[in-house]
Amino acid sequence: MTRDDVQAWLDRYVAAWASYDPAAIGDLFTDDATYRFHPSDPGFRGREAIVGAWLDPTGDASSRDEPGTWQARYEPFTVDGDRAVAIGSSRYFTDASRTTTRDVWDNCYLLEFGPDGRCRSFTEWYVPRPADRL
Amino acid sequence: MTRDDVQRWLDAYLDAWRTYDRAAIGDLFAADATYAFQPYREPLRGRQAIVESWLESPDAPGSWTASFEPHAVEDERAAAVGTVRYLEDGRQRTIYFNVWLLRFDADGRCVDFVEYWREPPEDLRTTM
C-alpha cells in the first residue's frame, strides 16, 4: 500500500460512515476481516458481522450517528507494506447546524490490508478530549 | 529507520524505564524532543524536561512488565504497539494497551513521541 492508497481507503471509510450504505461499508473489508472498536475487544469477525456492527451498533439503528452532526478526518501516519497506522479526530456536534461541539475524540487506527487493498485487521484507539480542549 | 532499529529503540526505552538511569533516558531523545502523554496534551519539550518527568514518580522495580514492537515503520517515522501490565503482590492490577507514534532524527534518537493508551473495561483488567 502507498500513502495515497491508505488515504483513499480512509476517505472511503468516512464516506461509508456518512452514508451507512451496507455495500460501501462491506467493500472496505476482506471477507475474513477483524474489526475492534477497542484494543481489548475480541472484535467482530467477517465482513457481514462488521457491516452489522456499523449499521446497528447497539442492536438497532437508533444509535447511528445522525447525518451532518459529525465530521472526521484521518490520515496515514506510517505506511509499511500491508500495514499502516492512521491518526485523526472525530468531532460531534449537538445538532446538524454544527454550531456547538459536543465531543471530540482523537483516533488512532492500526490497519492491516489484504492484497486487494481491503482492510483485514482494524483496531481503534479513541481518546476523549477534555471539555477545555475541544 | 528499519524495523530492527525501532525494536532496539523500544527495548532501550524499556531498559531505561526499568533502571531510571538518567543518561539512559536522556539518550533516547533528541535535545529538542517533544513528548506527549496524550494526543491532545501540550507535549513536554526538551530532553531535560522529559528526563525530569520520568524521574518524578518512578514505578517501583518489579511493579510492571511491558512489551512493544513496531507495527508500521516508514522512513524516520514509526508506530509501535504494546501492552503494559502493572502488578501488585505479584498479581496483575491492570493492563494498558498502547500505541506510540515516533519520529526519529538521523542519529536514531526520538524527536517526537505521542502516546495513545486504553485500559480495558474494569472486569477484564486483571485477567487480560
* The pLDDT of residue A60 is above 80: no
pLDDT at A63: 78
Enter the ipTM.
Answer: 0.94
* pLDDT tens per residue, range A72-108: 999 999 999 999 999 999 999 999 999 999 999 999 9
Name the interface residues of B facing A (CB cutoff 8 Å). Answer: 3, 38-40, 71-74, 77-79, 81, 95, 97, 99, 101, 116-118, 120-121, 124, 128
* Mean of per-residue pLDDT scores for chain A: 95
Per 3-state DSSP, chain B is made up of helix, strand and coil in percentages (nearest 5) of 30, 45, 25
Q: Sorting pLDDT into bands at 50, 70 and 90, what band is A9?
A: very high
C-alpha cell at A111: 490497519
pLDDT at B7: 98
% chain B with pLDDT above 70: 100
Helix or strand or coil: residue B62?
coil
| pLDDT, mean of residues A26-47 | 96
A53-57, B21-25, B26-30, B98-102: segment of lowest average pLDDT: A53-57
* The pLDDT of residue A47 is above 90: yes
pLDDT at A61: 73
pLDDT at A126: 95
* Rg of chain B over all Cα atoms, to the nearest angstrom: 15
pLDDT at A57: 74
State the first-to-last Cα distance of chain A, in angstroms, to the nearest integer: 33
* The pLDDT of residue A33 is above 80: yes
| pLDDT, mean of residues A23-29 | 98
Which ranges in B20-111 belong to alpha helices (H)?
A: 22-28, 47-56
Residue A92: CB atoms within 10 Å: 17
* pLDDT tens per residue, range B65-118: 999 999 999 999 999 999 999 999 989 999 999 999 999 999 999 999 999 999
pLDDT at B33: 98
% chain A with pLDDT above 90: 88
- The three-point CA angle B66-B72-B73 to 5° equals 105
pLDDT at A58: 74
* The pLDDT of residue A125 is above 90: yes
Residue B119: CB atoms within 10 Å: 15
Q: pTM to 2 decimals?
A: 0.95
* Mean of per-residue pLDDT scores for chain B: 97
Tell which of B97, B116, B127 to mutate to test the A interface (max A CBs under 10 Å). Answer: B116
Would you tell me which residues 50-89 of chain A have a C-beta closer than 8 angstroms to some C-beta of chain B? 77-80, 83-85, 87
pLDDT at A62: 74
State the first-to-last Cα distance of chain B, in angstroms, to the nearest integer: 32
Selection from A105, A41, A123 nearest residue B39 by Cα:
A105
Q: How far is the CA of B2 from the CAs of A35, B102, B104, in angstroms? A: 28, 13, 11
Q: How far is the CA of A90 from the CAs of A12, A71, A107, B41, B68, in angstroms? A: 15, 6, 7, 16, 27
Which ranges in A20-125 belong to alpha helices (H)?
A: 22-26, 47-55
| Spatial distance between the Cα atoms of A80 and A52, rounded to a whole number of angstroms | 30
pLDDT at A105: 96
Per 3-state DSSP, chain A is made up of helix, strand and coil in percentages (nearest 5) of 30, 40, 30
A32-46, A58-72, B65-79: segment of lowest average pLDDT: A58-72
Q: Hey, are the CB atoms on A78 and B77 less than 8 Å from each other?
A: yes
